[in-house]
Amino acid sequence: MGAYDVIIIGAGVVGSAVARELSRFCLDIAVLEKEPDVACGNSGRNTGMLHAGFTYTPGSLKAECAVEGNREFDQVAEELDVPFRRTGKLVVGFDEEDRRNILKFKEIGERNGVRGMKMIDKARLNQLDPNAGGEFAMYVPSSGILDPMQYTIALAENACANGVRFLFGRRVEGIRREEDGYLIHTCKGDVRTKWVINCAGMYASQISAMLGYPDYPVRGFKGEYYVLDKKAGKNMRIPIYPAPNEKGGFATHATPTIDGNVLVGPDSYITEGYEDYKVTREHMDGLYRDGRRMFKEMKPEYFIRNFAGIRWKIYDPKTGENKDFVLESDDSHPCTVNLAGIESPGVTCALPLARRAAAILREKENPRIDPSFSPYRKGIRRFSDMDQKEKKEAIAGNPDYGEVICRCEMVTRAEILQAIHNPLGVHTVTGIKNRTRATMGRCQGGYCETRITAMIQEELGIDERQVRYSKENSYMFTGKVR
């Protein structure tokens, strides 16, 4: 049985951010995650936007953290070596009702401290992106794009390098308060800890109840997406959003990814399934219809993949209104921090929320600052990002850079090997995918997936029946194959 100063439940973007923030101090910390990797839930199933903060209620925790997280992200991206581009965003309108809604949220953004927003006409809209729909727009220069999976991985790897342990496949089944802390029952044994921090994402309400806080009522807003080929991405410069509705929600939008694809979506509808990630013909048809209004190059020949994500919002059962993020701690639940209802813009807000959670612990414990803490993490260097001179030097230094495993994304054997031997000890096929982009190209792994599974097997010296795709029991093979 392990014993720790702090247990963080959940290795999504918020849990990984809390782990990184607390690793600045001399504390024995572990993260419990039910899946075999970080970002397996909704932290990896979103648009990848760094939000500006103009649709959130002034004075709310959500608004405060969104603006704070947006402003600091250039430095964060540099420290963690994650790709990021401050593209700006266009919120486009077609009629006077759209204009009224845009102006309403422009005013909210200004009250929240969002900088540089301005209304632009059709001529300026076409200059910024000629493939954008709309007759006019609000231009929001502080918005940006990032890879949420890479960001979560980077936060976790930096925390790990600073001494945090990540314990995967540890679903929490119960929590018992004891005289000197908490006993946490997991599917793979018990752990003891003085502090518990709940960052369980979609399951945060259940963990909240285990800790003695309310079992907050939540509802899932599911959204489906199309992923478009990089050929479509060449025709898109900036995220294009439709005018928000009166409550600040957006219909289908089009967003370039940091790697050159385009995401079209999400739509939004209620689901009760916590991991209801299936996509449907009905919603795909709706995305195609609505997406063409935003992005003129929305064409079937560019479709390469689809996926779904779910935003689990806390709501008031009496009024039906969605509520703010919850970040709480009190003396009746000693040595706990409870974060619940953390949905969009959770990626933007992750580090600001982490600092607030850490401040609660610091006020009670006053832990020593770890003089060896480093905020820096170096990611896997991509062969596809190198110029010709750099490629020659990389191959000369390591011949494995000369063997391309994934042709679509130009991922080399050297990169796959680095991913297999990643600091978190993740060995799933999707774990390699999320660290290198292998299998994310036009053929979606048709060429390289068999090579990657063979490399995992060879490098780890495991039986082929032990190779998993993504989840705990998602085994790739039942025996030997040719």
Divide the 482 residues of the chain into consecutive groups of 10 and give the mean pLDDT of each group: 92 98 98 97 96 97 98 98 98 95 96 98 96 95 98 98 98 96 97 98 98 97 96 95 78 93 95 94 94 92 96 96 97 97 98 98 97 98 97 97 97 98 97 97 94 96 94 90 73
Please indicate, yes or no, whether residues 195 and 128 belong to a single structural domain of this protein: no
Question: What does each C-alpha distance from 339 to 70, 196, 398, 476 come to in angstroms?
Answer: 20, 11, 45, 35
At 72, which CATH number?
Answer: 3.50.50.60
Please indicate, yes or no, whether residues 121 and 247 belong to a single structural domain of this protein: yes
Please tell me whether residue 57 adopts helix, strand or coil conformation: coil
Please indicate, yes or no, whether residues 101 and 77 belong to a single structural domain of this protein: no
Please tell me whether the peptide bond between 345 and the residue prior to it is cis, using omega within 30 degrees of 0: yes
Please indicate, yes or no, whether residues 154 and 78 belong to a single structural domain of this protein: yes
Which residues are the active-site residues? 51
Question: What does each C-alpha distance from 186 to 2, 35, 397, 427 come to in angstroms?
Answer: 12, 12, 45, 21
Q: Of the candidates 379, 396, 414, which is a domain's last residue? A: 379
**195 inside domain:** yes
Neighbours of 124 (CB within 10 A): 14
DSSP letter for 24, please.
Answer: T
**474 inside domain:** no
CA 439 to chain CA centroid, Å, is 19
Nearest CA to 172 out of 37, 40, 33, 38 is that of: 33
**478 inside domain:** no
- Runs of H (alpha helix) within 366-398: 388-397
> What integer pLDDT is reported at residue 246 of this predicted model?
73
Q: Of the candidates 261, 287, 314, which is a domain's last residue? A: 314
Q: Of the candidates 314, 331, 347, which is a domain's last residue? A: 314
Residue 269, phi then psi, degrees to nearest 5: -155, 160
**473 inside domain:** no
**302 inside domain:** yes
For the chain, what's the residue count? 482
> What integer pLDDT is reported at residue 248 of this predicted model?
59
Please indicate, yes or no, whether residues 286 and 351 belong to a single structural domain of this protein: no
Please indicate, yes or no, whether residues 109 and 256 belong to a single structural domain of this protein: yes
Please indicate, yes or no, whether residues 190 and 261 belong to a single structural domain of this protein: no
Please indicate, yes or no, whether residues 112 and 158 belong to a single structural domain of this protein: no
Please indicate, yes or no, whether residues 245 and 370 belong to a single structural domain of this protein: no
Please indicate, yes or no, whether residues 186 and 292 belong to a single structural domain of this protein: no
Find where tokens 């190779």 sit: 467
Q: Taking the model in full, what pTM does it have?
A: 0.97
Over residues 89-124, the pLDDT tens digits come to 999 999 999 999 999 999 999 999 999 999 999 999
At 409, which CATH number?
Answer: 1.10.10
How far apart CA 114 and CA 102 sit, in angstroms, is 14
Over residues 202-257, the pLDDT tens digits come to 999 999 999 999 999 999 999 999 999 999 999 999 999 999 877 656 778 999 99
How far apart CA 163 and CA 168 sit, in angstroms, is 16
Please indicate, yes or no, whether residues 238 and 307 belong to a single structural domain of this protein: yes
Give residue 59's region: left, alpha or beta (phi > 0; psi -120 to 50): left
How far apart CA 437 and CA 412 sit, in angstroms, is 11
**476 inside domain:** no
Paired strand residues for 63: none
- Domain limits for position 46: 1-85+145-217+315-379
**471 inside domain:** no
Counted domains in the chain: 3
At 110, which CATH number?
Answer: 3.30.9.10
Please indicate, yes or no, whether residues 185 and 305 belong to a single structural domain of this protein: no
**169 inside domain:** yes
